[in-house]
Amino acid sequence: MRRAPWLILASVLGFFAAVKLHVAAAATEWEYDEGVYLCSARALLRGYELFTEIFSSQPPAFLESLALMMRVAGDTLVAAHVYILFFGLVTLAVCGELARRIAGPWAAAGAVTALACVHTMLELSGLVQAELPALALASCSLLLCLHARGRGWQRRWLLASGALYGLSALFKLYVVPIAVPLVLLLLLAPQAATNAESWSLDGRGWPLLRRTLQRACVLAAGAAIVAVVPLLVYEHEPFFDQAVAFHLAKLDEFRLNPSFNWSLVQGELRRSIGVSLIGAAGLVLLLRRRPTPALWLLAWLAASLLVILRQSPLFWRHLSLLLPPLCIAAGMAVAAAAQSRLRVIRIIAPAALLLLLGVTLDASLRPGWEPGRRARELVEAPKSRPGLERMSQWLAENTREDELVVSDDPISVYLAGRMAPPALCDTSVARIRSGYLRLSQLTGQDAATPVIMLRREGRLSMVIGYARWLKENYDQLDWDAEFGAERHVWLREDL
C-alpha cells in the first residue's frame, strides 16, 4: 500500500499526457482567443514589436514565451499545444505536492486525480490560452514559499517565490487572488524540514505580525523586480493604453452581472460533481483534525470565488482559479480514508479515486457544455471541423507566403501558414465595443489586403460601415456550398 499512491500519481500523469497528446494536432473553432494568441506570436516571431505594432490587451510574458517556444520547437499548432500541456502537467504536479505537504502521499494522489479529470482542466491543457501557464507559475510560487519556510525563511527563497508570482501575473493578471494564500503562508513558523504536520503559526500578536510583515516585504520586492521589467522593455504609452486603459474602457461596456457569474460557478461545480462533493468532505474532515491548513484552503477558495464573482465579462476559463484548492481538498478526503483504522475503508480509497475519475469524466463529456464539444475528441478521431480545414487549405493555396490576410477567424489564418496584419490579430468583441477597433483601422492602407476572410455574422460584422466598405471595394468569392456557409471570402485583384 505504500507504493500505491505513487503508482496512481504516475498513472494519472501518464494518462493525462497521453490523452492530450492524442489531440495535440486538433484545432478548435469555438475558442477564438487561441487563434489570436497564435497569430500574435507568429507576428512576434517575424520581427514585429509587441504593443507598438501588435495589439495585445494582456501582459507580455505569455506571448513572448510562446513566440520563443515557436522559435525553438517550430511554428506549429502541435508545438504550441505541447507547450501548454507542459504547464498543465506542472499544475498537476504542484497541486499534488501541496496536498502531500498537508496530509501525505494519498492526499497527493487524490488531488492529482481529481484535478486531472475535471473538464475545465482537460480543456485548458489543450488550448493556447494564458490562464493555465499563469496558474502553473502562481502555484509554483506557493510551493517555493513553503520551501523558503523549510529553509528557515531564507530571503533568497522568498525573493524567488515573489519573483515567480510576479512572473505569473505578467502571463495573466487573473492570478491576483492567489496572493491571499501566498501571504497567509508567511504566518507559519520556520522549520528545518517541512513535513505533513508542520502548519503551526509563528507566534501570536505583534511578534507574529512583525515577522509576517518582514517576510511580506521581501516577497513583494521579488514580485516588484519582475513586474518592472515591461516598463524597461516596451514603450510606456502603447503598453499602458492596451494593458491598462483598454480594460478600464471595457468595464464601461460589459456591466457586472453577479447572478450570471454565480450561475457559471454553480454549473462548474455541478459538472465536476465528484470533485465538488469529495472536496467538501475533505474540507470538513481537515477542519476537524487540522484547522490551520483547512482555513488556508478555505481562504484560497474564498479569494478566488470573490474575484470570479466580480469579473466582467466572465469566461469559463476563469473558473480554473477554483480548481487547485478544491482538488487539494478532495485529496484530504482520500488521505483520511487511506489512513483510517478500519481496513475496509483503507481498501476503498483506491476505488474511490477510480469512481471520482469516472463520475467527473462522465459529467465532462455530456452534451450541453460548450467546451465538452472538444472534450469528446478524447473518444473520437482528432480531426478539425471540415469547414476550418478547407478554409485554411484554400488560403494556403491561393495566397502568397508573405501575404497578409485580414480575418475575424484567426485560427484559419494561422493554420494556413499566413499572417494577419499585426494590429488586427485581435479583432475581439471587447476591442470593438470598447472603441479600440474602429472602421478607420479596418479600411486603412495596412488593412487593405488582397484577401479578406470573414465568418458569417462574425465579429467584424459588428463594425458599422465595414460591410458596405467591403461591397464597394472588394468582390465576394462565389463560395462553393461544400466549403460551408460559415465563412465568406472577399477578393481585390489590384493589390
476: which strand partners? Answer: 490
User: What confidence score (pLDDT) does residue 354 get?
Assistant: 61
Residues 6+ apart with CB under 8 A from 443: 466, 469
Give the residue carrying C-alpha cell 501557464: 133
Chunked into runs of 10 residues, the chain (495 residues) has average pLDDT values of 80 88 83 93 95 94 96 94 96 96 91 89 92 97 94 93 97 95 94 62 90 95 95 93 89 85 90 86 91 96 95 91 95 83 62 60 45 41 59 90 91 94 92 91 84 86 91 81 70 80
Which amino acid appears at position 33 of this protein?
D
- Entry pTM: 0.91
Check if the beta carbon of residue 15 is closer than 8 Å to that of residue 113.
no
Q: What is the CA radius of gyration of the chain?
A: 24
The pairing of strands 487-491 and 475-476 is antiparallel
Instruction: Identify the CA nearest to 316 among candidates 182, 124, 154, 478.
Output: 124
User: What confidence score (pLDDT) does residue 2 get?
Assistant: 72
Give, in order, the Cα–Cα distances in Å from 77 to each of 73, 86, 128, 239, 444. 11, 14, 9, 28, 30
Cis peptide before 181 (omega within 30 of 0): no
Give just the sign of the alpha carbon dihedral 104, 105, 109, 110. Answer: negative
The span from the first CA to the last CA of the chain, in angstroms, equals 71
Residues 6+ apart with CB under 8 A from 134: 62, 168, 169, 171, 172, 174, 175
Give the residue carrying C-alpha cell 519582475: 226
User: What confidence score (pLDDT) does residue 117 get?
Assistant: 84
Give, in order, the Cα–Cα distances in Å from 264 to each of 147, 260, 267, 271, 429. 35, 6, 5, 11, 20
Q: Where along the chain do its domains lie?
A: 4-30+76-378, 386-491
126 C-beta neighbours (distance < 10 Å), count: 29
